[in-house]
């Protein structure tokens, strides 16, 4: 009789259960590219802070949030918490759709500056349509 394989309580990059899946490799690459790009953009925005538009200011908040959510999703996948990772997909999509909406609707910058309040901001469906 064979012994059951012991499952580690925490997975590392060397033994994560979904290692080798091509879509996950691309997700990893996109996260790295996003972080590299964000460093460049952050440097530019600090140097040009006085000339930032409302869209620039909103993106300076939204994009790092999206990257942080993507990193959280990735770590949850590493630990095989797939449902929890899936729950975070909507907030990630909301960030991407929000930036797109603000880009296509310059008048919406006032909504962002006012706190992007629930009931006043557009629905996810409307923001997705802007993409």
Closest by CA position to 92, among listed 77, 79, 113: 77
- Whether 8 has a pLDDT exceeding 90, the answer reads no
Cα separation, 35 vs 44, in Å, equals: 14
Q: For residue 90, name the pLDDT band (cuts at 50, 70, 90).
A: very high
Cα separation, 91 vs 69, in Å, equals: 8
What is residue 66's three-state secondary structure?
helix
Torsion angle defined by CA atoms of residues 73, 79, 82 and 86, in that order, rounded to the nearest 10 degrees: -10
Alpha-carbon radius of gyration of the chain: 19
pLDDT greater at residue 30 or residue 7 = 30
């Amino acid at each position: 009789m064979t012994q059951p394989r012991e499952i580690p309580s925490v997975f590392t990059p060397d033994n994560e259960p979904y290692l080798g899946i091509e879509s996950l490799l691309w997700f990893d690459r996109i996260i790295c590219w996003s972080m590299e790009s964000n460093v460049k953009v952050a440097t530019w925005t600090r140097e040009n802070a006085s000339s930032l538009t409302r869209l620039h200011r909103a993106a300076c908040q939204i994009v790092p949030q999206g990257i942080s959510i993507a990193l959280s999703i990735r770590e949850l996948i590493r630990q095989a918490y797939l449902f929890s990772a899936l729950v975070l997909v909507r907030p990630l999509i909301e960030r991407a759709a929000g930036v797109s909406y603000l880009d296509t609707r310059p008048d919406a910058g006032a909504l962002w500056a006012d706190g992007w309040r629930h009931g006043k901001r557009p629905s996810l469906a409307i923001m997705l349509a802007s993409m």
